[in-house]
Amino acid sequence: MKNIYSNSTTLIVLFIVSILIIAGGCKKDQLVVNEVKAYFQVNHSPANAYDGGFALTLQPDGYAEILPFGDIRYRGTYKINGSKIKVRIEQESKTYTFEIISTTEIREEEYGTVLKLK
């Protein structure tokens, strides 16, 4: 009889531990876009009238506008996965990846450019 209780207790403990591991392993997105969010390059000094610096605008519907340099904005889509934002621009056949530093700052991964929420 003691052996049955010991085995069932062990199974219950293992079940609870596995549920906790699975629940803890699920990543939450670090950023939620429920309104338009516009990020602009920190400490940017324009070299000329057409140099707007790096900028990213995220729309709640999954669309994004990106200004990687100069004065031309590109429209694309974005996905947030944990601490990363991936912006896909079909027109350029390019994907930009940003690391979420905080709810107000992100960093473009290729060049390390920091953008801040305005």
The model's pTM is 0.73
Distance CA 70, CA 87 (A): 18
Please enumerate in sequence order all residues whose Cβ is within 8 A of that of 101, keeping only pairs 6 or more positions apart, or say none: 107, 114
Q: Hey, what are 21's tokens?
A: 């591991």
What's the mean pLDDT in 95-103? 95
Which CATH fold topology does 37-117 show? Lipocalin (2.40.128)
What's the mean pLDDT in 29-57? 85
Please enumerate in sequence order all residues whose Cβ is within 8 A of that of 109, keeping only pairs 6 or more positions apart, or say none: 97, 98, 99
Contact 75, 63 (CB under 8 A): yes
Please name the residue that has the structure tokens 């934002």.
Answer: 85
Most confident of the following: 1-5, 41-45, 51-55, 80-84: 80-84
Domain coordinates of the chain in residue numbers?
Answer: 37-117
